[in-house]
Every structure is written in C-alpha cells, then in structure tokens.
C-alpha cells in the first residue's frame, strides 16, 4: 500500500514540475471565472438563527400554524419605516410623509404600504411596508431595503425629520452588511499577520508571498464556490465566513511551510531545483493529504449535529479545505519549481548548508528523554482540563458559567 501511495505522489510531482507554467495560469483563470460567475459568500449569509432550526422545532411549527393568519405564508415580509422628529412632528412633515408613502408604493416588490399610527408623544410615525419575498432571501431583501432607503432623500424631507428602516428584514440586511465588514477585517488582519510571521521565519519576501499565495487563492475560490452552494439552498451563517478565513489561511500556511522547508532542505542537500520540488512532494505530500483529510472528515461529522447552525458548517468548510489541499499540492510546488533558488532571495541556498538550529537541538533533547517530556505534557494538559470541569454550556446564545451545586 505504501509503494502505491508513493507512486501516486511521484506521478503528481512529475506532472507539477512538467506543467509548472500551466498550473498558475489555470488557477488564476479558475479564480477569475468563479469570481464573475458565482455569488460572493457574504451575499448568501443568513443571520437569522431561526432559519437553521429543523421543521420539528416548536417555534418553527408555531410559525407555520400562524402563517395563514399573518398573510401569504412564506412569501411575504415586512419592513418598518419610522419617521421621527425631536420635540414632536411639525405640520410641514405631513406633506413629506405623504410623499414618502407614495414613493414607497413605487418601490419594486412592495405590495402594500400602510401608516400604522403616530406615537403617544407625537414625535414619531410608523409605516409598514409589505414586500413580496421571503424574509430570508438576503440578496433580494437587501435590494428592497436599499430602494426604500433611497426614497428617504428623494422626497426632500424638511430639516429635522429623520427616516429610518426597522423590523426583522432590515435587521437581517444590516447584520449581513456588518458580517461582510467583519469578514473583510478578519481577512485583512490575518493576511498581514501571516505575512509578517513568514517574513520572520524565512527572512525572504518572495518565499513569504509564495507560501501565502495558494492560501489566498484557495480562500477566494472557496468563497465563491460556497456562495454558489448558498444560492442553491445551502444555509450559510455569518460564522462560516470567519471560520473559513481562519481555517484556510492557517492550514494553508502550515502546509506551505512543510513543503517550502522540505524544498530548501533538498536544495541544501545538493539537488537541482526541479528535483528538489519532486522529492519534497513525495516526502511531505502524503502527510499534507492525511492532515487535510483528517480535518475534512472531522468537519463532515458536523452533519450529525441536530442544530442546523452547526450542521450547515460541515459542507462549506469541507469544500474550502478540499480546495486548499488541491492548491497546496499543485500551485505551491509549481511556483517553487518556477522560482528555484530565487524563491529564497536574498539568502543564498548552496549545497552543504544543513544546519541543526535551535529547534533541532530541542528535538534532540526530547528524543533523548521522551518519558520526561510525555509526563510533563500529560500533567500540563490534565491541569488545564481540570480547570474546565466546573463549567458547562449555557446555551447557544450564552457563554459559559460555573455549575452550581444544589
């Protein structure tokens, strides 16, 4: 079995080195195509946790029973428009509100507009806007809410009169936009942190970029593929985007370090660049594949979760890891084969430069005294585990609290 697996990676290594020019072009072409053809992941995010409940959940069954009383079941939603003025509405506001109601009726997908009434202090008016779509169709809801908000300026309200959107649909749209901004910040800070870390490790800007580039492209492609899955019915929560960014950038950088360090060692051992890449793939390709497969299988176990919020994390994150594995075993070695020793500039990688280094000395000490290292590790992690025995989950929306004895 080992010989057959080794033969597979030897064949892969030959193909990667042979088509080292074609692979980067193909990956970039795929990234461009999916970016243009598929929706973004952030556009398919659903921030309503009740959407992840099974049909048998009491709240879901209650909503189904109440649907005939609340209007057309499943195909309508509502946005609230609130007009307010500090100190009370002025007589001039009546005309602006009438123009606003007329403008709302002209918004696409708006089926009905009704003024619900004025507040007791006469400082605010609430208008209900019924829209012909499912409240969980975030893309369509976002378009309608944006069109409604544009009417606020088109009616030329008097100075001091403020118009706002409210309600479940408007909140979902705002949450989706907030999730997108948060995801962008996480992605930006993660990339910057990893670049700085790789520069410290390699002391070579090109090696840092080459190591990170497959992870970045895998993230881009995965987000579009998952967005397409979301467009076809897979529910995507806001945490999916954050977990995907952390997972792919972390795992991709880890796998990249395995391969890049092995290529550098093979170069120092006197092998030519192409031969060094081939040998590195054979040496570490199986380890990288096994690691990624373990993560993918672990993620797929979430399919057994009863709460859809967790269950629906399985497929998107597993898809992202699969894409990362493919690019880690093709794009990264292809780039290393193209660059050769130039990938480690300004360092000069010459044969015979095998250095043990600090970690080599630490590893040698651990190997000499394995029982002591194992014992210290067991004691340390048992102490950490004991500290968590007094805590239990307080539910999806809460954190953790110490269990009370009765």
CATH number of the domain encompassing residue 160:
3.30.70.600
pLDDT of residue 393: 63
On whether both 185 and 146 belong to a single domain, the answer is no
- Residue 74 is predicted with a pLDDT of 46
Q: Is the pLDDT of residue 314 over 60?
A: yes
Task: Specify if 353 maps to a domain.
Answer: yes
Mean per-residue pLDDT for 52-80?
Answer: 60
Angle made by CA atoms 341, 343, 349, in degrees to the nearest 5: 35
* Residue among 113, 131, 213, 215 at smallest CA distance from 173: 131
| 133 and 159 within one domain | yes
Average pLDDT over residues 8-22: 88
* pLDDT higher than 50, residue 400: no
Would residue 10 count as lying in a domain? Answer: yes
Burial 22-33 (b: 16+ CB within 10 A, else e): ebbeebeebbee
Would you say residue 18 lies in a domain? yes
Q: Is 396 a member of any domain?
A: no
Residue 257 has pLDDT above 50, yes or no: yes
Same-domain check for residues 363 and 233: yes
**CA pair distance 322, 192, nearest whole angstrom:** 24
Output the pLDDT for position 405: 41
Domain check: are 338 and 249 in the same one? yes
Same domain, 188 and 85: no
Average pLDDT estimate for 313-337? 92
Distance set, CA 191 to CA 22, 60, 188, 265, 327 (Å): 26, 40, 5, 26, 17
pLDDT of residue 69: 56
CA quadruple 192, 197, 200, 202: dihedral sign = negative
Residue 25 above 90 pLDDT?
yes
Distance CA 123, CA 89 (A): 5
What residues make up the domain containing 259?
A: 2-49+175-368
Q: What is the pLDDT of residues 134-178, one digit of tens each?
A: 545 666 777 888 888 888 888 888 888 888 888 877 877 777 777
Cβ proximity of 107 and 189 under 8 Å = no
CATH of the domain at 34: 1.20.1640.10
Same domain, 183 and 251: yes
Stretch 344-373: mean pLDDT? 76
With beta carbons less than 8 A apart as the criterion, state whether 137 and 230 touch. Answer: no
């Amino acid at each position: 079995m080992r010989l057959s697996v080794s033969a597979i990676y030897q064949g892969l290594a030959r193909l990667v080195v042979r088509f080292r020019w074609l692979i980067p072009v193909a990956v970039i072409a795929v990234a461009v195509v999916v970016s243009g053809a598929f929706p973004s992941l952030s556009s398919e995010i659903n921030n309503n946790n009740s959407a992840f409940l099974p049909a048998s959940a009491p709240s879901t069954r209650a909503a189904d029973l109440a649907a005939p009383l609340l209007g057309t079941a499943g195909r309508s939603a509502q946005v609230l428009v609130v007009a307010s003025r500090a100190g009370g509405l002025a007589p001039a506001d009546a005309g602006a509100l009438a123009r606003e109601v007329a403008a709302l009726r002209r918004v696409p997908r708006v089926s009905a507009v009704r003024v619900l009434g004025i507040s007791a202090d006469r400082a605010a008016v609430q208008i209900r806007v019924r829209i012909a779509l499912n409240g969980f169709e975030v893309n369509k809801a976002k378009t309608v809410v944006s069109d409604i908000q544009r009417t606020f300026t088109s009616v030329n309200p008097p100075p001091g009169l403020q118009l706002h959107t409210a309600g479940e649909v408007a909140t979902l749209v705002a949450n989706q936009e907030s999730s997108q901004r948060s995801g962008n910040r996480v992605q930006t800070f993660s990339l910057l942190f990893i670049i700085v870390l790789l520069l410290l490790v390699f002391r070579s800007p090109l090696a840092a970029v080459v190591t990170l580039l497959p992870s970045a492209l895998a993230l881009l492609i995965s987000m579009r593929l998952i967005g397409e899955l979301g467009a076809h019915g897979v529910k995507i929560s806001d945490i999916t985007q954050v977990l995907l960014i952390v997972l792919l950038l972390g795992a991709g950088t880890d796998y990249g370090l395995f391969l890049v360090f092995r290529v550098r060692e093979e170069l120092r051992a006197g092998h030519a660049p192409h031969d060094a890449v081939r040998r590195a793939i054979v040496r570490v390709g199986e380890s990288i594949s096994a690691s990624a497969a373990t993560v993918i299988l672990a993620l797929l176990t979430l399919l057994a979760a009863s709460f859809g919020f967790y269950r629906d994390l399985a497929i998107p994150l597993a898809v992202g890891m699969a894409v990362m594995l493919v690019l880690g075993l093709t794009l990264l070695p292809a780039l290393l084969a193209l660059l050769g020793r130039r990938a480690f500039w300004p360092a000069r990688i010459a044969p015979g430069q095998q250095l043990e280094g600090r970690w080599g000395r630490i590893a040698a000490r651990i190997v000499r005294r394995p029982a002591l290292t194992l014992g210290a590790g067991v004691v340390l992690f048992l102490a950490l585990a004991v500290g968590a025995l007094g805590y239990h989950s307080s539910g999806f929306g809460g954190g953790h609290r110490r269990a009370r004895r009765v």
